Amino acid sequence: MPVVEARRVTRLFPMAAGPIAALRDVSLRVDAGEYVAISGPSGCGKSTLLHLVGCVDQPTSGEILFEDRDVAVLSEAERSRIRLMRIGFVFQRFFLLPMLTARENIELPQAEAGAAAADRRARTRELLEYVGLADRADHLPSQLSGGEMQRVAIARALANRPALLVADEPTGELDEQTGEQVADVFDRVHADGTAILVVTHNPALAARASRRVTMKSGSLVS
Amino acid sequence: MIGRALRATLIALFLGAAAASAADSPSSAQPPGVLLSRQLAARARVSVGDVVTLAVDANGARGMMVRVAGIYEPTPDPMRFTAQRLEAHMHLPDLAALVADSADPAARELASAINVKLVDAHDAGPFASELAARAPGVIVRPTSRTRDDDPFAVLDRFHVAISAVTVVGATAFLLALMVIRAEERRDTIAILRLIGISRRSLLTAVAIEGLLIAVMGAIFGVIVAVATESLVNGVFQARYDTALVFVRVTRSIAVRSIAIALPLGLAAGIGASWPLLRGQILSLFRR
pLDDT in tens, B36-55: 999 999 999 999 999 999 88
Task: Count Cβ neighbours within 10 Å for each residue of B17-40 and write b for 16 or more, e otherwise.
Answer: ebbeebeeeeeeeebbbbbbbbbb
> Average pLDDT, stretch A88-113?
94
CA distances from B251 to B159, B217, B230, B255, B258 (A): 17, 17, 16, 6, 11
Interface residues of chain B, partner chain A, Cβ below 8 Å: 187-188, 191-201, 280-282
Q: Where are the alpha helices (DSSP H) in chain A?
A: 46-53, 76-85, 102-112, 117-130, 146-157, 176-191, 203-207
Asked if B186 and B269 sit in the same domain, the reply is: yes
For chain B, say whether A109 makes contact (Cβ under 8 Å).
Answer: yes
Strand order in the sheet with B33-37: B6-8, B88-90, B33-37, B64-72, B51-55, B14-16
Contacts of B202 in chain A (CB under 8 A): none
Among B20-29, B239-248, B272-281, the range scoring the smallest mean pLDDT is: B20-29
- Residue B26: per-residue pLDDT: 44
CA distances from A152 to A89, A137, A141, B20 (A): 12, 9, 9, 95
Number of H helices and number of E strands within chain B?
A: 9, 6
This prediction's pTM: 0.68
Asked if B93 and B181 sit in the same domain, the reply is: no
Minimal CA–CA distance to A36: which of A201, A197, A220, A186?
Answer: A197
Q: What is the dihedral of CA A168, A174, A180, A181, to 10 degrees?
A: -90
> Average pLDDT, stretch A102-109?
97
- Residue B148: per-residue pLDDT: 66
Asked if B89 and B207 sit in the same domain, the reply is: no
For chain B, say whether A140 makes contact (Cβ under 8 Å).
Answer: no
Asked if B161 and B279 sit in the same domain, the reply is: yes
pLDDT above 70 for B4: no
A209 alpha-carbon distance from chain centroid: 14
Asked if B85 and B165 sit in the same domain, the reply is: no
Position B1 in a domain: no
- State how far the Cα of B177 lies from the Cα of B265, in Å rounded to an integer: 11
- For B196, the closest chain A residue by CA position comes to A84
pLDDT above 50 for B12: no
Contacts of B195 in chain A (CB under 8 A): 83-84, 89, 108-109, 156-157
Domain ranges of chain A: 97-160
- Residue B153: per-residue pLDDT: 79
Q: What is the dihedral of CA A196, A197, A198, A203, to 10 degrees?
A: 80
pLDDT in tens, B84-93: 888 899 998 8
A198 in Cβ contact with A38 (< 8 Å): yes
For chain B, say whether A21 makes contact (Cβ under 8 Å).
Answer: no
Q: Which of B113, B129, B161 is the last residue of a domain?
A: B113
Which residue range is the domain that position B230 belongs to? 152-284
Tell me if residue B33 falls in helix, strand or coil: strand
pLDDT above 90 for B3: no
- Residue B5: per-residue pLDDT: 35
Among A121-125, A218-222, B38-42, the range scoring the smallest mean pLDDT is: A218-222
- For B200, the closest chain A residue by CA position comes to A77
- For A97, the closest chain B residue by CA position comes to B188
B14 alpha-carbon distance from chain centroid: 31
> Average pLDDT, stretch B218-240?
92
- Residue B284: per-residue pLDDT: 83
- Residue B14: per-residue pLDDT: 46
- For A84, the closest chain B residue by CA position comes to B196
- State how far the Cα of B68 lies from the Cα of B37, in Å rounded to an integer: 10
Q: What is the ipTM of this complex?
A: 0.89
Number of domains in chain B: 2
Position B204 in a domain: yes
B201/A57 Cβ within 8 A: no
Length of chain A: 222
- Residue B286: per-residue pLDDT: 62
Position B255 in a domain: yes
Position B119 in a domain: no
pLDDT in tens, B103-122: 777 666 556 777 888 888 78
In chain A, % of residues over pLDDT 70 = 100
Higher pLDDT, B153 or B105: B153
Phi and psi angles of residue B48, each rounded to the nearest 5 degrees, phi first: -60, 135
Asked if B165 and B55 sit in the same domain, the reply is: no
Asked if B51 and B165 sit in the same domain, the reply is: no
Question: What is the C-alpha radius of gyration for chain A, rounded to an integer number of angstroms?
Answer: 17
DSSP 8-state secondary structure symbol assigned to residue B101: B
Average pLDDT, chain B: 81
Cβ contacts from A onto B, under 8 A: 49
pLDDT in tens, B158-209: 888 998 898 888 888 888 888 888 888 888 889 899 999 999 999 998 888 8
pLDDT above 50 for A41: yes
- State how far the Cα of B263 lies from the Cα of B256, in Å rounded to an integer: 12
